[in-house]
Structure 1
Amino acid sequence: MLKATSIHKSYGKLQILKGVDLAVNHGEIVTIVGASGAGKSSLLNIIGTLDNADSGTVSIKGQDVSKLSKSQLSNFRNKQIGFIFQFHHLLVEFTALENVCIPAFIGGQSKAETEKRAKQLLGMLGLSGRADHKPNQLSGGEQQRVAVARALINNPALILADEPSGNLDSTNARELHQLFIDLRREFNQTFIIVTHNEELSDLSDRKILMKDGMIVDNL
């Protein structure tokens, strides 16, 4: 599913990633843990094609993403990668349903089919009655579930999550963690999750420990 090989990244003289190798199988839930500054989010951004490595390769479903043009990469990212962030990044002027639909609309999918799938996802996530609510009318946990539905709308090969429960209370965090497990069971979805949450990391299939820009353990 994913293979990252010899990933190096520096900002000026500061080395952020020092030759990281990572392989993730289809249907795995892999968490990346480590102290702040270890390079976790930088690695996630490179895997997600939001940033470029100085050297090394990233292959997703057999596609070397470095060989794609800018427009091809944008299209690939839209269709194959879903993102979940700590602070949701929902657009405040749109409803929950509209927020979920946005990636599919960007990908050129039909309005009718997109809204049908978005409603199914919101229903599966317990948000059927909240589809017409805007983000400021939703709780933190509800907003994050909308963000999960948005990440799923295009049936991506890979979902990347950066501290997805970092802004939630313990109850909502626990529910979100269980949701990831349920989604893997339902869709055989692949997740790579950067987290400081020990409970979430313990639920994963593998825990990758990073330190000083390198993977130092694979549990």
Structure 2
Amino acid sequence: MDSDVALELASVSKSFKKSPAIVEDINLSLTRGQVVALIGSSGSGKTTILQIAGLLDKPTLGVVTIDGVNCTQASNKYKTHVRRNFLSFVYQFHYLLQELSVLENVMLPQLIARRSKAEAKKKSQAILEKFGLESKASSMVSEISGGERQRVAIARSIVNSPKLLLADEPTGNLDPTNSLNVFLLLHSYVKENNSSMLIVTHNYILAEKADHIFQLKNRSLVKL
């Protein structure tokens, strides 16, 4: 497999018992430095593909390869290692912890990865400054706007320098200006760090800024 490929889905299908397949024979490859957008109607299986790509769900058929390793039959311990050290999720709902400050929310993934508190604080402060949120570091989540919360969530998602971002409608709750700003933050992170991003979005204006667009239609992927 090409060492520049961060994620590959090969002939991936997902079904439950005797129900029709949710997605069928999905083939998708993301190289480093690449942003790929996935569009499709509600209920078409876009989130299922992201969950399979992020090792949160197993395909019924097919192979998921991340960073050159076949993860389909990998142990739960290895999958946890990949999710913690190689990839990160960005969701439509920010899932910030209300009882923690903005700074503490961004520090959390680093503390989970067993970095020192001093190192985590320093890096978190730097990334908040880059996102224009340095003045909000000591604020509680309830004290900042919706657009600011989503920017904090993105800061948290990239603070451990993931090589693969999986974004599920990350701008879905935002107005057009904040939506574009959030997407551009993600896009610039990918390009500056030679990472990769698979983004599910219903926003075609944002999708057009990706390197490639795929549509999920009739359970299969079509490249646009």
Bin the TM-score by the shorter chain. Answer: over 0.9
Alignment check: 8 A CA contact 2:46 2:200 kept: yes
TM norm structure 2: 0.93
Who is 2:218 aligned against?
Answer: 212
Residue 74 of structure 1: CA displacement? 1.0
* Rounded Cα–Cα distance in structure 2 between residues aligned with 1:178 and 1:157: 17
Give RMSD over aligned pairs.
Answer: 1.2
Who is 1:149 aligned against?
Answer: 155
Q: Which amino acid aligns with 1:8?
A: S
Who is 2:207 aligned against?
Answer: 201
Equivalent residue for 1:162, pick from 168, 174, 193: 168
* Rounded Cα–Cα distance in structure 2 between residues aligned with 1:129 and 1:186: 24
* Rounded Cα–Cα distance in structure 1 between residues aligned with 2:140 and 2:55: 29
Structure 2: which 5+ residue stretches go unaligned? 1-5
Identity of aligned residues (%): 38
> Aligned pair 1:10/2:15, yes or no?
yes
Alignment check: 8 A CA contact 1:96 1:131 kept: yes
> Aligned pair 1:136/2:151, yes or no?
no
Q: Which moved more, 1:125-134 or 1:179-188?
A: 179-188
* Rounded Cα–Cα distance in structure 1 between residues aligned with 2:93 and 2:34: 24
* Rounded Cα–Cα distance in structure 2 between residues aligned with 1:96 and 1:86: 18
Alignment check: 8 A CA contact 2:171 2:182 kept: yes
* Rounded Cα–Cα distance in structure 2 between residues aligned with 1:67 and 1:155: 26
Moved over 6 A (4+): none
TM norm structure 1: 0.95
Q: Which amino acid aligns with 2:72?
A: S
* Rounded Cα–Cα distance in structure 2 between residues aligned with 1:198 and 1:153: 28
Q: Which moved more, 1:63-72 or 1:112-121?
A: 63-72
Structure 1: which 5+ residue stretches go unaligned? none
Residue 88 of structure 1: CA displacement? 0.6
Cα deviations across residues 110-143 of structure 1 (Å, max 9, x unaligned)?
2111111111111111101111112111111111
Size of the alignment, in residue pairs?
Answer: 218
* Rounded Cα–Cα distance in structure 1 between residues aligned with 2:218 and 2:141: 37
